[in-house]
């Protein structure tokens, strides 16, 4: 098996393994699983390593993945064109890792991008392509594409990035992933602050937990900050969003009067009505607890029947 064939086989297997992991775990994956990777032809293939630009030993020359760590040393960000600006390793453009990404750009080979949302948890996006190199700014430009455009075969690579439609498609896919990244980032930070339990009922099944906004992110005050968030189970998220429940600035819950008087079985009684007058769970860190001015704004809407002032 020549190097090009081995490279294509490893990348294809990596993408299939990731697809399976996301189907089973969701698109935010534990670093431990990524570091363990999978076995291919009797050889272990990890997907991440100590450095952000990572190439497993089974590959020669071109990295398999790039990673942005939570609060890492590099200022990776999305540029004015909407694409990811991925920083060089160090300041030497000729560092082997930087040369590897440059080679990925020249050969038009797909990579995996892991974005750290909180320590130990990463959102995976693939395939991504290095589409620009700026030695003056010590950064590469990276675009995210969809799985139909992997470009693993030689013929596919010959035709890749040949039409304007490719650039437009990649900008759209990258923007979509960027929005998903921000949503997952908010969710993970909120769930971590609330110790992965519902603030209203203490439910700890993470699959059933959401990060709810106190003030919607479509409003000027609705920033994606933990202080504008609550960890809620699916039932209480829906009830909170629809103003069945109100949260006072002293962190005590009120049930809407008509709901409190309704008779509709044990779920209503135990799931919602029983919350009347109870105090919610809040993060241990005071700087992560719900911002009282936002809670007050939300509570006033609850008192007006869910109508904004």
Query: How long is the chain?
Result: 309
pLDDT at 309: 61
pLDDT value at 158 more than 70: no
Kindly report which listed range (8-22, 83-97, 164-178, 215-229) carries the lowest average pLDDT score.
Answer: 164-178
Mean pLDDT of the chain: 89
The closest alpha carbon to 62, from 113, 110, 9, belongs to: 110
Instruction: Check: CB of residue 209 under 8 Å from CB of residue 196.
Output: yes
pLDDT digits (tens, 9 = 90+) for 100-154: 999 999 999 999 999 998 889 999 999 999 999 999 999 999 998 877 666 555 4
pLDDT digits (tens, 9 = 90+) for 63-75: 999 999 886 555 6
Other residues' Cβ atoms within 10 Å of the Cβ of residue 130:
26
Domain ranges of the chain: 3-190, 201-303
The closest alpha carbon to 126, from 142, 110, 115, belongs to: 110
Kindly report which listed range (79-88, 132-141, 188-197) carries the lowest average pLDDT score.
Answer: 79-88
Backbone angles phi, psi at 120, to 5 degrees: 85, 0
- E-strand ranges in the chain read 28-30, 38-40, 43-45, 53-54, 65-68, 77-78, 84-87, 111-118, 121-134, 139-144, 209-213, 229-233, 245-247, 253-255
Rounded CA gap, 214 and 144, in Å? 32
Instruction: Check: CB of residue 22 under 8 Å from CB of residue 122.
Output: no
Average pLDDT over residues 157-168: 53
pLDDT at 67: 95
Half-sphere exposure of 73 (CA within 13 A, CB side): 7
pLDDT value at 161 more than 50: no
């Amino acid at each position: 098996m020549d190097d090009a064939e081995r490279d294509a086989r490893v990348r294809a297997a990596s993408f299939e393994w990731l697809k399976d992991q996301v189907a089973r775990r969701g698109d935010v994956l534990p670093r431990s699983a990524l570091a363990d990777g999978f076995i291919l032809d009797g050889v272990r293939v990890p997907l991440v390593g100590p450095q952000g630009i990572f190439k497993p030993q089974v590959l020669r020359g071109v990295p398999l993945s790039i990673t942005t760590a939570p609060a890492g040393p590099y200022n990776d960000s999305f540029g004015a064109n909407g694409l990811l600006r991925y920083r060089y390793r160090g300041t030497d453009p000729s560092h082997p890792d930087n040369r590897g990404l440059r080679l990925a750009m020249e050969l038009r080979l797909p990579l995996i991008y892991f974005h750290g949302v909180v320590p130990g948890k990463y959102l995976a996006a693939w395939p991504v392509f290095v589409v620009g190199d700026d030695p003056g700014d010590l950064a590469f430009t990276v675009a995210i594409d969809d799985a139909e455009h992997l470009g693993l075969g030689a013929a596919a690579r010959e035709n890749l990035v040949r039409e304007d439609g490719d650039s437009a498609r990649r900008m759209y896919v990258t923007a979509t992933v960027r929005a998903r990244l921000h949503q997952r980032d908010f969710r993970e930070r909120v769930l971590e602050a609330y110790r992965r339990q519902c603030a209203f009922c203490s439910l700890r099944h993470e699959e059933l937990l959401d990060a709810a906004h106190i003030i919607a992110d479509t409003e000027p005050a609705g920033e994606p900050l933990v202080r504008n968030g609550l960890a809620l189970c699916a039932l209480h998220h829906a009830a909170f969003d629809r103003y069945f429940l109100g949260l006072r600035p002293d962190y005590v819950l009120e049930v809407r009067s008509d709901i409190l008087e309704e008779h509709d079985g044990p779920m209503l009684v135990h799931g919602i009505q029983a919350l009347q007058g109870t105090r919610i769970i809040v993060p241990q860190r005071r700087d992560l607890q719900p911002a009282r001015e936002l809670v007050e704004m939300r509570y006033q809407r609850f008192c007006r029947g869910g109508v904004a002032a």
